């Protein structure tokens, strides 16, 4: 399977959004949109209104990561904004996971679930077959620039083995410190979608097209392509 890349839009140059999206439209596979409420995590970032504003110039799916205490409040606004994926944290939907998953699908969006570093795959075992994507956090959620938690490589391998054994259709995605130092280990463990932020993409060059080329060169070297 061809590796996929999902740039984190909170890391982009927000003064040049349209120009940067036009560069990424022909290179990326998704746009990762972090939505934080200041409660589930202490930071506040992007929003459904941001998604609505940029959607007309996006040629690939918007992938929304809900770091929020009450994800149900965000589902309909995001669906109306035209996003492709809605991805709450497993810990926030435990009481009504099936209803939330079915609601997101019923509104025409795909469903992802995000696992914090300390949350095991077994936490979502009863509905994992319904998911389009499972995201493994390799840092604690809420802030960029944290160190990579290597114990998560085993969790990625577990998701890969389960997917192959059961024939599940979810994508295996990683969020946190995806860069030249980790690309090789992440790919070997079974990562299919790499969320890239400051260290993996945006800080590599002021010219985003050049930064993308450098990222791909780093990736290819890391996986011996």
Task: Write down the domain spans for the chain.
Answer: 4-222
Instruction: Name the catalytic one among 29, 34, 37, 132.
Output: 34
Instruction: Name the catalytic one among 37, 63, 132, 175.
Output: 175
18, exposed or middle or buried, with CB in 10 Å at 0-12, 13-18, 19+? exposed
Mean pLDDT in runs of 10 for the chain (225 residues)?
96 94 98 86 84 97 96 97 98 96 98 97 98 96 78 98 98 96 98 96 97 98 88
pLDDT recorded at residue 187: 98
Distance, in Å, from the CA atom of 210 to the CA atom of 212, rounded to the nearest integer, reads 5
Of 92, 193, 184, nearest in space to 134 by CA:
193
Distance, in Å, from the CA atom of 175 to the CA atom of 186, rounded to the nearest integer, reads 11
pLDDT recorded at residue 140: 87
Q: What residues form the annotated binding site?
A: 32, 34, 65, 142-145, 175-177, 197-199
37 is catalytic: no
Q: What is the chain's percent helix, strand, coil content, to nearest 5? A: 45, 20, 35
The token pair that represents 75 in the structure block: 């589902």
Largest pairwise CA distance in the chain: 46
Distance, in Å, from the CA atom of 144 to the CA atom of 82, rounded to the nearest integer, reads 26
pLDDT recorded at residue 125: 97
224 is catalytic: no
Q: What residues form the annotated binding site for substrate?
A: 65, 142-145, 175-177, 197-199
4-222 fold: TIM Barrel (3.20.20)
What pTM value is reported for the model? 0.95
The token pair that represents 209 in the structure block: 């097209």
**Three-class HEC string of 88-123:** EEHHHCHHHHHHHHHHHHHCCCEEEEEECCCCCHHH
DSSP summary character for residue 203: T
pLDDT recorded at residue 28: 98
């Amino acid at each position: 399977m061809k590796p996929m890349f999902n740039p984190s839009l909170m890391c982009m140059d927000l003064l040049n959004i349209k120009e940067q999206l036009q560069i990424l439209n022909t290179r990326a596979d998704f746009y990762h949109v972090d939505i934080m409420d200041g409660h589930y995590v202490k930071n506040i970032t992007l929003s459904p209104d941001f998604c609505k504003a940029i959607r007309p110039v996006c040629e690939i799916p918007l992938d929304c990561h809900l770091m929020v205490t009450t994800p149900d409040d965000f589902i309909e606004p995001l669906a109306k904004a035209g996003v492709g994926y809605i991805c709450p944290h497993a810990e926030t939907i435990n009481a009504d996971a099936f209803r939330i998953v079915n609601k997101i699908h019923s509104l025409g969006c795909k469903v992802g679930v995000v696992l914090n570093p300390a949350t095991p795959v077994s936490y979502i075992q009863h509905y994992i077959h319904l998911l389009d994507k499972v995201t493994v956090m390799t840092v604690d959620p809420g802030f960029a620039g944290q160190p990579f938690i290597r114990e998560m490589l085993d969790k990625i391998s577990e998701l890969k083995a389960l997917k192959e054994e059961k024939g599940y259709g979810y994508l295996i995605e990683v969020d946190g410190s995806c860069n030249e130092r980790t690309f090789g280990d992440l790919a070997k463990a079974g990562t299919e979608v790499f969320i890239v932020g400051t260290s993996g993409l945006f800080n590599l060059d002021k010219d985003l097209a050049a930064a993308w080329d450098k990222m791909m060169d780093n990736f290819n070297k890391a996986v011996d392509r």
